[in-house]
């Protein structure tokens, strides 16, 4: 069994200070996709992951202290793909993929649409990312994309699905339609495959005591290629882990 996590840690240096390494040691995942590391490799001690037995790979944004992704893996990859080869996407360090013998794992940090300019950027990114993934499918059929998609898929994935929220980025009808189409293009939402119940979220605002009141959004996903459906054996949200405003999500898979 292989245990794969995805986790937006909202700053790896801050998370390390909050005992991230101790948690990884205890939970013992085989692979972790990180998003929003907010650091260059020379700004934190990557050796701590090596000492735990992980090969570790990082892709930072050009802008310091912003965005960035990483993957740590106990399994040595056969190939490391840093970025997508699309300049405007790679400038912000949002995609990193490891190819193993029988499957591939990508860490994705999709932009948020905090203002009109960033919302336009987000839609451009979504469009180009979908094209990029479609181009990968023929040579990489067994793909797992773990990441912060910054979109709630359905009403069950947000604490407040009232019409007023349909004007907020992350729950815009156009964003949700895109994610629905992307999933249906050949992926499984691993959490919903096993868990149909509401009130399970992966991100909470720091405002208004949102986490304690569970006023959250499920915007983090481990999307698994349909080709791996028979290999899935479990999926979960680890909402008691608190290094970040997000929490880790995970799958167990037999490959």
pLDDT of residue 88: 95
Q: What is the pLDDT of residues 31-72, one digit of tens each?
A: 999 999 999 999 999 999 999 999 999 999 999 999 999 999
Average pLDDT, rounded, for the chain: 97
Domains in the chain: how many in total? 1
pLDDT of residue 121: 96
Instruction: Report yes or no: 153 and 179 within 8 Å, Cβ to Cβ.
Output: yes
Q: What phi, psi does 177 have (nearest 5°)?
A: -65, -40
Torsion angle defined by CA atoms of residues 192, 120, 118 and 145, in that order, rounded to the nearest 10 degrees = 30
**How far is residue 169 from each of residues 28, 112, 164, 165, 222, measured CA to CA in Å?**
34, 7, 11, 8, 21
Nearest-CA neighbor of 72 among 124, 111, 37? 37
Q: What is the pLDDT of residues 112-129, one digit of tens each?
A: 998 889 999 999 999 999
User: Helices marked H in the chain — which ranges?
Assistant: 12-17, 20-27, 47-51, 87-90, 116-136, 173-184, 190-194
Burial class (CB in 10 A: 0-12, 13-18, 19+), 164: exposed
Catalytic residues: 148
Q: What is the pLDDT of residues 8-34, one digit of tens each?
A: 999 999 999 999 999 999 999 999 999
Q: What is the pLDDT of residues 73-105, one digit of tens each?
A: 999 999 999 999 999 999 999 999 999 999 999
Domain encompassing residue 227:
2-253
Beta strands in 52-193 (DSSP E): 55-59, 69-73, 79-82, 95-99, 104-109, 143-148, 187-189
pLDDT of residue 104: 98
CATH value at residue 22:
3.60.10.10
């Amino acid at each position: 069994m292989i245990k794969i996590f995805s986790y937006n840690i909202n700053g790896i240096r801050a998370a390390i200070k909050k005992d991230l390494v101790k948690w990884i040691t205890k939970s013992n995942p085989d692979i972790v996709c990180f998003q929003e590391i907010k650091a260059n490799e020379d700004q934190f001690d990557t050796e701590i992951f090596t000492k735990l037995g992980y090969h570790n790979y990082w892709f930072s944004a050009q802008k310091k202290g912003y965005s960035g992704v990483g993957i740590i893996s106990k399994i040595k990859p056969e190939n490391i793909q840093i970025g997508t080869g699309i300049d405007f996407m790679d400038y912000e360090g949002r995609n990193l993929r490891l190819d193993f013998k029988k499957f591939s794992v990508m860490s994705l940090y999709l932009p948020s649409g905090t203002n009109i300019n960033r919302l336009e950027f987000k839609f451009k990114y979504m469009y180009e990312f979908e094209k990029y993934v479609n181009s990968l499918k023929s040579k990489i059929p067994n793909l797992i994309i773990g990441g912060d998609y910054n979109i709630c898929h359905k009403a069950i994935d947000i604490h407040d699905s009232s019409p007023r929220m349909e004007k907020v980025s992350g729950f815009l009808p156009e964003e949700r339609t895109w994610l629905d189409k992307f999933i249906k293009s050949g992926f499984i939402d691993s959490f919903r495959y096993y868990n149909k119940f509401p009130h399970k979220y992966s991100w909470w605002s720091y405002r208004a005591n949102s986490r304690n009141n569970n006023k959250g959004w499920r915007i983090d996903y481990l999307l698994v290629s349909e080709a791996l459906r028979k290999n899935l054996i479990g999926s979960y949200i680890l909402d008691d882990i608190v290094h970040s405003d997000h929490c880790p999500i995970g799958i167990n898979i037999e490959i």
